[in-house]
Amino acid sequence: MTQPSVTTDRATAPVRAEVARRRTFAVISHPDAGKSTLTEALALHARVINEAGAIHGKAGRKSTVSDWMEMEKARGISVSSTALQFAYHSGASVDGRPGIDAVVNLVDTPGHSDFSEDTYRVLTAVDAAVMLIDAAKGLEPQTLKLFQVCRHRGIPVITVVNKWDRPGQAPLELMDEISTRIGLEPTPVYWPVGIAGDFRGLLDRRTGDYVRFTRTAGGSTIAPQEHLSAARAAEREGDAWTTAVEESELLSATGADHDEELFLAGQTSPVLFGSAVLNFGVSQLLDLLIDLAPPPRARLDVDEQPREVTDPFSAVVFKVQAGLDSAHRDRLAYMRVVSGVFERGMVVTNAATGKPFTTKYAQSVFGRDRSTVDTAYPGDVVGLVNALSLTVGDTLYSDKPVQFPPIPQFAPEHFRVLRGSVGGKAKQFRRAVEQMDSEGVVQVLRNEVRGESAPVLAAVGPMQFEVVAARMKSEFDVDAQMEPLPYALARRTDAESAAELDRQRGIEVFTRGDGVLLALVSDRWRLQYIQKELPRLTLEPLVAAA
Residues 81-120 that bind ligand GDP (CB under 6 A): 111
Residues 6+ apart with CB under 8 A from 310: 12, 15, 16, 19, 339, 340
Q: Which is nearer to ligand GDP, 278 or 442 (CB)?
A: 278
The answer to whether 112 is a known ligand-binding residue is: yes
Enter the DSSP assignment of 410. Answer: B
**Is 349 part of any known ligand binding site?**
no
Does 414 bind ligand GDP (CB under 6 A)? Our answer is: no
275 interacts with ligand GDP by CB under 6 A: yes
State which residue, 85 or 162, has the beta carbon closest to ligand GDP.
162
Dist CA 158 CA 106 (whole Å): 14
CB of 247 to ligand GDP, least distance (A): 21
Residues of span 514-543 touching ligand GDP by CB under 6 A:
none
Among 12, 24, 36, 363, binds ligand GDP (CB under 6 A): 36
- For residues 29 and 321, which CB has a smaller minimum distance to ligand GDP in the complex? 29
* Smallest separation (angstroms) from ligand GDP to the CB of 198: 13
Candidates 47, 30, 84, 90; CA nearest to 293 is 90
Beta bridge partners of 307: 299
Nearer to ligand GDP, 50 or 279 (CB): 279
Question: Cα 108–112–118 angle (5° rounding)?
Answer: 55
C-beta neighbour count of 263 within 10 angstroms: 21
Site for ligand GDP contains 215 (CB under 6 A): no
How far apart (Å, rounded) are the C-alpha atoms in residues 357 and 470?
Answer: 30
Angle between helices 463-476 and 426-439 (to 10 degrees): 130
Smallest separation, CB 508 to ligand GDP (Å): 38
Binders of ligand GDP: how many residues, by CB under 6 A?
17
Residue from the set 72, 108, 165, 301 that interacts with ligand GDP by CB under 6 A: 165
Q: How far apart are CA 215 and CA 222, in angstroms?
A: 9
259 annotated ligand-binding residue: no
Cα distances (angstroms) measured from residue 166 to each of 199, 276, 338 = 8, 11, 41
Query: Comparing C-alpha atoms, which of 159, 127, 156, 155 is closest to residue 19?
Result: 127
- Which span sits near ligand GDP by CB under 6 A: 4-12, 26-34, 113-121, 286-294? 26-34
State the nearest-atom distance from the C-beta of 363 to ligand GDP, in Å. Answer: 25
Euclidean distance between CA atoms 35 and 157, whole angstroms: 15
Q: Establish whether 165 is an annotated binding residue.
A: no
Q: Does 277 bind ligand GDP (CB under 6 A)?
A: yes
CB-nearer residue toward ligand GDP: 14 or 76: 76
- Residue 169: CB minimum distance to ligand GDP, A: 14
CA separation, residue 280 to residues 163, 200, 220, 222, 226 (Å): 10, 9, 11, 8, 12
Residues at the binding site for GTP are 108-112
Which residues in this chain contact ligand GDP in the complex, by CB under 6 A? 29, 31-37, 58, 111, 162-163, 165-166, 275-277
Residues at the binding site are 108-112
